[in-house]
Amino acid sequence: MTETDVAMPAAFDPSQLPPAALAEVLRKLPPRPVALLRRCLARGESLEACAAFYGVTPAALSANLLREALALTEAAGGGPRPPESPEEEAAWARQLSAALERETATVSPALSDTVALCRRMLAVGPQVELALEAADRAEAASPRRKREDLLRRLAVGLLLALAAYFYWKRPQ
């Protein structure tokens, strides 16, 4: 390679991500976005059903799904740019919703990586769910988690003992 040759960064290709890698990316995100992404993408529930579950309008759910899908794309190694205005965000939310419902929907080029990742999640959703459940079981069986549970139980027991002590020693 000469000094004029520049290595091009590898293009983000969500179709190459295995379900275990998608599950690992989901585990890096905060719990609330993960719950929404799992319900809408990994389990494949319709946007209307998800909106009814969360008690919001489909438009509000679409906007929230867009934000979480952009965060997922960034965590997976893609380079999404955030919407520049509320109008652009609303348009992208509609495009993402349409793209999840039908393959022929047109999307903005800036949103193409996110749409591809969401479609990949829809395609391998059951395998992602299995990988997430296996990771949760492994974490629950880990020594660190058992130690944390023991310390929590000891703390609760100590608080109960202190409460009983102060109850019996209170002034009459």
> What range does the domain containing 162 cover?
142-172
More confident residue, 92 or 12: 92
Per-residue pLDDT band at 80 (split at 50, 70, 90): confident
Tell me the percentage of the chain whose pLDDT exceeds 70.
Answer: 94
- Residue 1 domain-assigned? no
Q: Say what the pLDDT of residue 79 is.
A: 80
Is 70 exceeded by the pLDDT of residue 5?
no
pLDDT given for residue 1 in this prediction: 45
Mean pLDDT computed over 127-139: 91
Residues 70 and 33 in one domain: yes
Say whether both 71 and 134 belong to one domain: yes
Buried b (16+ CB within 10 A) or exposed e, 39-58: bbbbeebebeebbeeeeeeb
Tell me how many domains the chain contains.
2
User: Higher pLDDT residue, 90 or 13?
Assistant: 90
Examine residue 49 and state whether it is found in any structural domain, yes or no: yes
Domain for residue 110, yes or no? yes
- pLDDT value at position 10? 55
pTM for the full predicted model: 0.76
Tell me, yes or no, whether 38 and 104 share the same domain: yes
pLDDT, tens digit (0-9, with 9 covering 90-100), for 104-131: 888 888 888 899 999 999 999 899 999 9
| % of residues, the chain, pLDDT over 90 | 60
Looking at the structure, do residues 112 and 150 belong to the same domain, yes or no? no
pLDDT in tens, 33-65: 999 999 998 888 889 999 999 999 999 999 999
